[in-house]
Each structure stands twice: as C-alpha cells, then as structure tokens.
Structure 1
Amino acid sequence: MFKHILLPTDGSEVSTRAVDQGLELAKALNASVYALHVILPFQALSYMTQVIPESESSYTEESVRWAERYLGEVREKAQRAGVPCESDYVFHKHPCDAILDVAQKRGCDLIVMGSHGWRGFTKLLLGSEAQKVLVRSPLPVMVCR
C-alpha cells in the first residue's frame, strides 16, 4: 500500500509517538521513511525597547544541533526496526509548506505526524500545522495523538 512515508518531527512527545507509529507501519508494509525537521528562520526578538541578544548564527547553530538530535533519534529507531530511513532538516517560515514540499520532492505517499507539537494542545483547535497539512495535502495523512 504505502512505500515511502514522511515523518515530520519537532522532538515533542506527541511527535515522537507519531514517529514510533510511523515506523511500526513502515515495518509492517516493508516501506521506507523520510524524517524531516523544520527549523523556523531566525527572527530578532525584542522586549520593550531592548533587543534580546541572540545572534542569527548562534540561533542557527543551536537549531541545527536540535534538528540533528531529533533526526538522529529517528534514524536510530528506524535502524533498530530494520526500516530504511533518510532524513534532513530545512529552514522554512511555514512548516506546513515545508512538509508538503518535501513530501512531493521525496516521492512520499503518506505523511504520519503528531496532532500537536511544542506549540501546545490548544493549537490543535486554532490552526496547528497538522491541521494545515490535513487540509492542504494531496496525500493521505495519519495524525497521531
């Protein structure tokens, strides 16, 4: 049925459960997976009239470290499950667009993702990335809680 599953991850607990379920499904279907982490571009933050001293380069370095950590965890789980896995991170201001773009470019035929991530459960009802993917995806989407 499905042969190439996209697993977007943000490292949250719900996202990690979705990865686990996606890997289980991939193993059962003899499918491969592609793990993706979307990094939001740097934005200067300010508080009142003071600019918070976070440089773009330190933000980028830290974001890439976290991305590699999350993706490394997915690759390790996939290896233990015997599921072929590729992975990468992208910088994009709209995670939904990045997820859909990567799914199309990588030839994925299913997206398995968490219902909500680091932004909180209330985002599920207020336009979460999962909801945006569900509405806009031409591919089947499996949303995990």
Structure 2
Amino acid sequence: MTKPSSQKTLDRAVHRLLIPIDATEGSRRSVGYATDLARQTKDVEACLLYIVEPVRDWEVLRFRTEQELHRHFEERSAIFLEEASAPLRAAGIPCKTYFREQEPVFGILDLAEQLDCTEIVIPKPNWRGFLSRGLGRKLKSAQRSIPVVLVRPDGSAEHR
C-alpha cells in the first residue's frame, strides 16, 4: 500500500561517493574520507571503482588476447576492491564494487553520473602527480556536475 502524497516523508540526503581504487596506498585515503564522513552524517554509501585503460599495444596483444587481459585485470580488481571495501563494511557503510575497462577520466565521470553520486573522491596527487597532470587535475578539467574531492595525506579534504 502506498502513502498518499500528503503523507510524504522527508528523504535524508545520502552521500553517495564514487571512490576509484588502485593498487597504491594513496587510494586508501579516500576510504578513510568515507568513514570519517559517515561518522559525521551517517548517510554515506560507497561505490568503489577499479578502472583500467584497455590494452591496445600490439606488442602485448600478440602474446595475450583481449579476453585474457580483461580476465586478468578483472581478477586483480577483485582483490583490491575487496581489500578497500573491508573497512567500509566494518564501519557499516553500504558498499558496492565495480570494474571498468575504459579510459579512466571519462569512465569515472560516466559511472559517477550513472550511479547518481554526490562526490568523486580521490587522493590528492603528490608533487610528481601535479607536474604530470595527474588524475585529479584531469577530472577537474573534464568535470561535469559532480564535485571532485581531493584527500590530502593527512586525511583532510580539498573540495574542487
């Protein structure tokens, strides 16, 4: 039975975070940001993404098929996604994991839009990343309507 429109309940705002994960410790800072936010607001959902660029190099493809490479990256992603999701689940944060094989910047932005995320959370690059125009800078320049949050090494957030 549905409630009449006059009895609508107020929906609390849910913070749905898209958190790209890789093999580095730096990407775990974003998980810490999610758990800190959950302590403050309680309404946090995490969407963890492991994304790799499709392999197009003929020198690699002559030894492995695209399917073999996809399977390899998908298996590796499961390990990193499980490791990153454990502290979120322990903190009671609903968490889903995703694997994508596509260009990272637009893959991240597209998935964030598909999932109706409220923020994209990534570690702030160190000085080397800044010089090489790291992921954070590329996301910012290609950004659509979803804010990008950069997490500093000390765990504080820099909103973009």
Task: Name the TM-score class by shorter chain.
Answer: 0.7 to 0.9
Residues 20-51 of structure 1: per-residue CA shift (max 9 Å, x gap): 2223223432211111111221223539xxx8
Give a deviation string over 1:95-141, Cα, whole Å, max 9, x none. 0101100110000011111234xxx8623322212111122222221
Structure number with greater CO (CA < 8 Å, separation at least 6) is: 1
Report what 2:51 is aligned to.
38
Match of 2:150 in 1: 143
Q: How does 1:1-145 map to 2 (within 5 A)?
A: 3-30=15-42, 31-46=44-59, 53-92=63-102, 94-116=103-125, 122-137=128-143, 138-145=145-152
Aligned residues: 138
- Identity, % of aligned positions: 22
Larger radius of gyration: 2
Q: Confirm or deny: 8 A CA contact 2:118 2:147 kept in the other structure.
A: yes
Letter in 1 for 2:117: C
Deviations 1:45-102 (A, max 9, x none): 539xxx863443332222111111111112211110110111111110x201011001
Do the aligned residues in 2 keep the contact of 1:17 with 1:144 (CA within 8 Å)? yes
Q: What is the DSSP-based 3-state SS (H/G/I as helix, E as strand, rest coil) of the residue aligned with 2:54?
A: coil
Unaligned runs of 5+ in 2: 1-12, 153-160
Q: Is the 8 A contact 1:113 1:142 kept in 2?
A: yes
| 2:148 maps to amino acid | V
* Contact 2:50/2:81 (8 A) holds in 1: yes
- What's the TM-score, normalizing by structure 1? 0.81
Q: Return the alpha-carbon distance in structure 1 between the equivalents of residues 14 and 128 of structure 2.
A: 31
